[in-house]
Chains A and B, each alone.
Chain A
Amino acid sequence: MLESVIAGLSGLASGTTFLFTQGLENVIMLLIAGVLLYLGVKKQVEPLLLVPIGFGCLLVNIPLSDLMDQGGFLRTLYDAGVANELFPLLIFVGIGAMTDFGPLLENPRILLFGAAGQVGIFLTLLLALALGFPQLEAVAIAVIGACDGPTAIYVASQYAPQLLGPISVAAYSYMALVPIIQPPIMKALTTPAERVIRMKSLKKSVSPATKILFPIVVTIIGGLIAPKGLPLLGTIMLGNFMRESGVVARLTKASENEIANIVTLFLGLAIGATMEGHAFLKPTTLAIFALGFIAISLDTVAGVLFGKLVCKLTGGKVNPLIGAAGISAYPMAARVVQTQGLRYDKKNHLLMHAAGANTGGQIGSVVAAAVMLSVLKGMGLI
């Protein structure tokens, strides 16, 4: 009887004993979970993602909890929607349903800003390879530069699942830091005269038919050019088609609210669950954070430089600051451009142009990832 009581008590103490004897990694990860929760709750840094990620990290690092073992709660979530890329794709349907591509369609050539804003992905790929990362890991890390959480998660979960935790946390952290990262780069690369260029206001020129056909056209053309990325393009365009068609309001609302909310919770928890100490506490994690920062900075540099080029080619009709909105962080990057434009000229409203470039960046980030995956497929690497 006494032996049974002692055995029972040892069961109760086993977690604490483990933590204080061989659980240094767990302690550090619990602190990191605390930092993520603090950033999400107190600083409001991407709280919808960082809160579940932080809590998932906390759960999985409590010793002997077995939540990520086969049949465990977090393993079930991971297998159900991250290992097979379902969750990021469902989030894309919601993003498509929320996005108004109107400002982009008013001036379609602004889509090219969305291409320029992805150049950082490819330059970071070269850096990651130079640092010695294996090829597919380098690709997954570089996609942090897409400034697009679901795309980064989609690529990482397929080709570098062992890096999913740090890549996801880096992607969402830097997306939240866009208002801090971009303005100094925008200022450094533009002249005072360029920053105060006023752009013509956009005339309403897009018919509802064009808005409805746009997602179909993007899906077909994007899918034909880069079929490996069709799940990414197809889901975002499905959401947008439902929005613009106007006949499935219930599905559109469910996609942008209920489904997106539930999936965001599950996705965050499942990503947090990948942050076990032995997988996260490695020098590569620091390298991934550094490369993520470089990727987003280089995207901004490329976008603003492209803006300067377009400014020259159009005889000064385009304010190069809008190039910074060519990344996918929507609508944050567009707001940064608007704020910076007003900072240098209190009557210069660049928001609509920046919103066009920013939605172009959303499509650009998905297209860049899709092109990358299709090129890898062509090379026989995936």
Chain B
Amino acid sequence: MDNLSFGLTLTLVGVGGTFLTLWVLALVVDLLKKLFPLAAQEESDKKA
């Protein structure tokens, strides 16, 4: 593979892959926050 094709491929897939991975992580963290909300946990800690 010549340098130009290599560079463009790695740049496109690399930038896209980085954004995609971090976007998926952001969605999963949002989901975690919904599944384990702070208020609910504070209440269960108080009961305990």
Chain A interface (Cβ < 8 Å from any Cβ of B): 105, 108-109, 111-112, 114-115, 118-119, 121-123, 125-126, 129-130, 135, 138-139, 204-210, 213-214, 217-218, 221-222, 225-226, 360, 363-364, 367-368, 371-372, 374-376, 379
Q: Considering the chains assembled together, what is the distance between the CA atoms of A135 and B10 in angstroms? A: 11
Residue of B nearest to A121 (CB): B14
A111–B33 CB distance below 8 A: no
In the A-B complex, list the 3 residue pairs whose CB atoms are closest, starting with the nearest.
A108-B29, A371-B17, A209-B36
Q: Hey, which chain B residues are within 8 Å of A213, CB to CB?
A: 32, 36
Residues of A within 8 A of B19 (CB): 112, 115
B25 touches which of A122, A125, A221 (Cβ 8 Å)? A221
A226–B17 CB distance below 8 A: yes
Residues of chain B with a CB closer than 8 A to A109's CB = 26
Is B4 in contact with chain A by the CB < 8 A criterion? yes
Residue contact B18 to A108, C-beta cutoff 8 Å: no
Give the residues in chain B near A129, CB-CB below 8 Å: 3-4, 6-7
- Contacts A108-B30, A111-B26, A214-B29 given; does A206 touch B17 at CB 8 Å: no
In the complex, number of A-B residue pairs with CB atoms less than 8 Å apart: 121
Q: Are B22 and A376 in contact (CB under 8 A)?
A: no
Please state if A360 and B3 are interface contacts (CB–CB under 8 Å): no
A111 and B32 within 8 A (CB): no
Secondary structure at chain B's binding surface: helix, strand, loop or mixed?
Answer: helix
* CB contact between B22 and one of A112, A130, A208, A372 (< 8 Å): that residue: A112
Residue in A121, A138, A206, A375 whose CB lies within 8 Å of B33: A206
Do B33 and A105 have beta carbons less than 8 Å apart?
A: yes
Interface 0/1 of B1-36, CB less than 8 Å to A: 101101111110111011111111111111011001
Most buried by B among A108, A139, A368: A108
Q: Are B29 and A123 in contact (CB under 8 A)?
A: no
| Shortest CB distance A309–B (Å) | 12
Residues of chain B with a CB closer than 8 A to A368's CB: 14, 18
Chain A residues closer than 8 Å to B29, beta-carbon distance: 105, 108, 111, 210, 214, 217
| A375 to B25 alpha-carbon distance, docked (Å) | 19
Q: Are A122 and B23 closer than 8 Å at their CB atoms?
A: no
B41, A207: Cβ atoms under 8 Å? yes
CB distance from A377 to the nearest CB of B (A): 12
Considering the chains assembled together, what is the distance between the CA atoms of A130 and B11 in angstroms?
14
Closest to A371 in B: B17
**Which residues of chain B are near A139, meaning CB under 8 Å?**
10
Known: A217-B25, A225-B21, A368-B18. A379 touches B7 (CB 8 A): no
